[in-house]
Amino acid sequence: MHFTINKSSLVYALSHVNKAVSSKNTIPILTGIKFEINESGLTLTGADSDISIQIKVPLQAEGKEIIKLFEVGAIVLPRYVFDIVRKLPADEIEFKKTEKLSIFIKSGLSEFRINGYDVDEYPEIQAVSDKKSFYVESSLLRTMLRQTTFAISNNESRPILTGVSWNLEDDILKFYATDSHRLAVKEAVIENAEEIKISGLVVPGKALKELAKILEDYDSRVKIVASSNQLYVEVDNIIFISRILDGTYPDIPRIIPKQIESEITLDRNQLIDSIERASLIARDSRNNIVKLVTLENNLVEISSSSQELGNVTELVEIHSIKGEDVKISFNAKYVLEALNAIENDEIVIEFTGALSPFMLKSVNQENLLHLILPIRTH
């Protein structure tokens, strides 16, 4: 194994695979990054028990030489090779395997010899069949993840709720995320996916957060292959693989109320600001309880009180109201997170009763829904 490589190309590639690697992994070789060089380029792989990220740096790109290859080979290097590469002084870095488990790195007047791991002991990435593959634009997938992932559970007592449920049927991709107190549903139309049906494939939230970070760097089409035990995502020269959570996801369509008692439309930012202020008093209580009451004159009152701190009353103008008067209490955190996930400036809240779930939606936009359970305060 012997090659030289352009520093910035290697830094960029390592910054991506590094996201999958934790120095705390109990399997020592997984605290490292796999380097594999051959005539098709340098392939870097990082993995933990949930995800693998693989990126390929070609020998040339856009007519410019990135890698000079002298001898093919492979080794697993400790994660801090990323720290070393970032700080090296010259634009070109030379890698040369001197012994089976040791590599020599040279750049300018700086020379490192670092110990690695046996590449034969690194887990193989499973091949995928292309049977269930479809394509999504990177920006759309990013939006879908941003609008749902925040609503998953952080509580390991029901592991299935720590992931986002992926569903695809009749060309419609649906994401569900819930922690049993609130639910986010996002759907989008996918082209040329008639043949594919995915039902309740639950991808760990932690993996999706890493995927979202990777997608930020790419504005291209993303290939997705779903199988029963893994989710495979390919964008540009990166492959991202996540394991799937075991278990059965709740039957979400059954949970969403069909009967609306009343609905109000109002300005999203005004509502966010009011609830944030009310939350300064409310956060003193265990559930961060804020109350919403419709008043005369097209106003809602947002309020909260605490015996220790004091109380707060906010008035917000309503754009329109239909149905009965509303009086409801909720956890401010859930409502704020849902409002922040909505992109439209005008939102509608649909109520189904003082102790029944209420829904937050964009006006004129049916593909995003946030459902929240109220809190009983008496």
Instruction: Summarize as ranges the residues that interact with a copy of itself (CB under 8 A).
Output: 78, 80, 83-84, 87-89, 102, 109-115, 273-274, 276-277, 280-281, 308-316
Is the Cβ of residue 112 or residue 218 nearer to a copy of itself in the bound state? Answer: 112
Give the shortest CB-47-to-a copy of itself separation in angstroms. 21
Give the shortest CB-321-to-a copy of itself separation in angstroms. 18
CB crowding 244-263: b at 16 or more within 10 Å, else e: bbeeebeebeeeeeeeebbb
Is the Cβ of residue 85 or residue 347 nearer to a copy of itself in the bound state? Answer: 85
Is the Cβ of residue 52 or residue 274 nearer to a copy of itself in the bound state? Answer: 274
Give the shortest CB-131-to-a copy of itself separation in angstroms. 45
Residues 137, 226: contact at Cβ < 8 Å? Answer: no
Give the shortest CB-134-to-a copy of itself separation in angstroms. 43
Is the Cβ of residue 247 or residue 310 nearer to a copy of itself in the bound state? Answer: 310
Segment 230-237 long-range contacts (CB within 8 Å, at least 24 positions apart) = 230/126, 230/128, 231/166, 231/201, 231/203, 231/207, 232/128, 235/138, 237/55, 237/56, 237/57, 237/58
3-state SS assignment for residue 85: helix
Give the shortest CB-314-to-a copy of itself separation in angstroms. 5
Residues 228, 244: contact at Cβ < 8 Å? Answer: yes
Give the shortest CB-323-to-a copy of itself separation in angstroms. 24
Is the Cβ of residue 94 or residue 276 nearer to a copy of itself in the bound state? Answer: 276
Residues 2, 74: contact at Cβ < 8 Å? Answer: no
Give the shortest CB-147-to-a copy of itself separation in angstroms. 25
DSSP string, 156-185: TTSGGGGEEEEEEETTEEEEEEE-SSEEEE
Is the Cβ of residue 256 or residue 295 nearer to a copy of itself in the bound state? Answer: 295
Picking from 118, 88, 90, the residue whose alpha carbon sits closest to that of residue 103 is 118
The CA distances from residue 38 to 99, 143, 219, in Å, are 19, 37, 28
Is the Cβ of residue 306 or residue 367 nearer to a copy of itself in the bound state? Answer: 306
CB crowding 3-30: b at 16 or more within 10 Å, else e: bbbbbebbeebbebbbbbbeeeeeeebb
DSSP state of 194: T
